[in-house]
Structure 1
Amino acid sequence: MRKLIVAAFITLDGVMQAPGGPQEDTSGGFTHGGWIPPLADEAFGQAMQTLFSQPFELLLGRRTYDIFAGFWPEVGPEAPDRPLADLFNGVAKHVATHRPESIEWQNSHTLGADVTGAVRALKQQDGPALLTQGSGELVRQLLAAGLVDELRLLIHPLLLGRGKRLFGDDAQAAAFKLVESSSTPKGVLLAHYVRSGEVQTGSF
């Protein structure tokens, strides 16, 4: 059985919209796109290398798929990102989309109409972990269905006040255990959580 890992860049108030650039996602009038680059440093890069060092397949929503498919296949042979490009181009990619006919990036597969059902079936198979990148709408569906086994969060020291958030009100209640944490010199918290059962309650 495979693990499903949600890897996400978020702010202190849980925003995950358009971390990589100003024009990445301006929906809803979002004007803070590109909030990661000023906080990226060598430790941040090392954390990303560690994340991608274990075998995985990608789970992607359509917007993230389109961004990735327009970028990674075009990375040149001498570019610093070429090793990661080769990795992303080569792994299997499972995509939530209403337009399956336009999925052309190599090794890409559509999840079909029943997205959570398809992901549940993928988890039952043998194979590498299923890893999300971005894909906020898809991630919220997976959290609502209780399918997430691990959270790898890179929490940035920012309050944006608006924007699409990682956790929706329909996320299924679950307890998680912090198994590893660190921080970068620029204040990004790297937190690795593993699902540990049901939420326990009590009183003082």
Structure 2
Amino acid sequence: MPRPQFHVYIALSADGYIARADGAIDWLAPFDSEEYGYDDFTAELGAIVMGRATFDQLLGFGEWPYQTLKTYVMTSSPPGDLPEGVEAVSGSPAALAEKLSGTAPQNIWVVGGGALIQSFLKEGLIDRMDLFIMPLMLGSGIRLFGADGPAQELSLKDSKTYENGAVMLRYET
């Protein structure tokens, strides 16, 4: 059975951070006026995978933003009340890919955080990465790619420069 395709779509600072040390993403606010192809990207999706910290952060924003997409929260400590369409799962990314093979929609967004994305990369499961490099440096925070990540060759499939100085790099693995 074919396995789903796992995609990353994420903004990061020019020095490689996806959030401040406390998880805050307020530094992205000055770049909100651009759409970055988000609507086209999400239109291709059938499901989302995220880590527990990302799930908790999204819950703090109010109404669940992904009501139309099946969401899997990878965690060893399942949350209590889950919004409709959200399922807590444990185990490795490979176990999730096997579980979803043949039954899940083909395109699944690995939202984050950095450790979750890194675990999918280590198991060779990320098929495409859309990286949006924002023209600022945070100096510290939560990195997208940790120091113990796998060596991996990438193939640049597309790039785009935005008027605000952001750059999108689309890689396939």
Q: TM-score, normalised by structure 2?
A: 0.86
- The amino acid of 2:32's aligned partner reads A
- The amino acid of 2:74's aligned partner reads A
Classify the secondary structure of the residue corresponding to 2:168.
strand
Please identify the structure whose Cα radius of gyration is greater: 1
Classify the secondary structure of the residue corresponding to 1:102.
coil
Partner residue of 2:53 out of 63, 72, 78: 63
Classify the secondary structure of the residue corresponding to 2:82.
coil
- When you count strand as a share of all residues, which structure comes out higher? 2
Does the CA contact (< 8 Å) of 2:13 and 2:133 recur in 1? Answer: yes
Partner residue of 2:146 out of 168, 171, 175: 168
Classify the secondary structure of the residue corresponding to 2:63.
helix
What is the CA–CA distance in structure 2 between the aligned matches of 1:103 and 1:155, rounded to whole Å? 35
Classify the secondary structure of the residue corresponding to 1:186.
coil
Identity of aligned residues (%): 23
- The amino acid of 2:7's aligned partner reads I
| Residues 1:40 and 1:47: Cα distance change in structure 2 (over 3 Å) | same
The CA deviation string for residues 91-119 of structure 1, in whole angstroms up to 9 with x for no partner, is 1101112222515111111222x232333
Does the CA contact (< 8 Å) of 1:146 and 1:172 recur in 2? Answer: no
Is the aligned partner of 1:95 residue 2:73? yes
- The amino acid of 1:16's aligned partner reads I
- The amino acid of 1:140's aligned partner reads Q
What is the Cα-based RMSD across aligned positions, in Å? 2.1
- The 5-angstrom pairing of residues 127-146 of structure 1 reads 127-146=105-124
- When you count helix as a share of all residues, which structure comes out higher? 1
What is the CA–CA distance in structure 2 between the aligned matches of 1:49 and 1:101, rounded to whole Å? 28
Structure 1: gaps of 5 or more residues: 19-24, 75-84, 196-204
Match of 2:31 in 1: 39
Match of 1:54 in 2: 44
The CA deviation string for residues 13-48 of structure 1, in whole angstroms up to 9 with x for no partner, is 110115xxxxxx626xxxx7411111232xx31521
Moved over 4 A (4+): none
Match of 1:14 in 2: 16
Classify the secondary structure of the residue corresponding to 1:139.
helix
| Residues 1:33 and 1:90: Cα distance change in structure 2 (over 3 Å) | closer
Paired residues, number: 170
Does the CA contact (< 8 Å) of 1:145 and 1:172 recur in 2? Answer: no
Structure 2: gaps of 5 or more residues: none
- The amino acid of 2:19's aligned partner reads Q
Classify the secondary structure of the residue corresponding to 1:170.
coil
Partner residue of 2:7 out of 5, 9, 13: 5
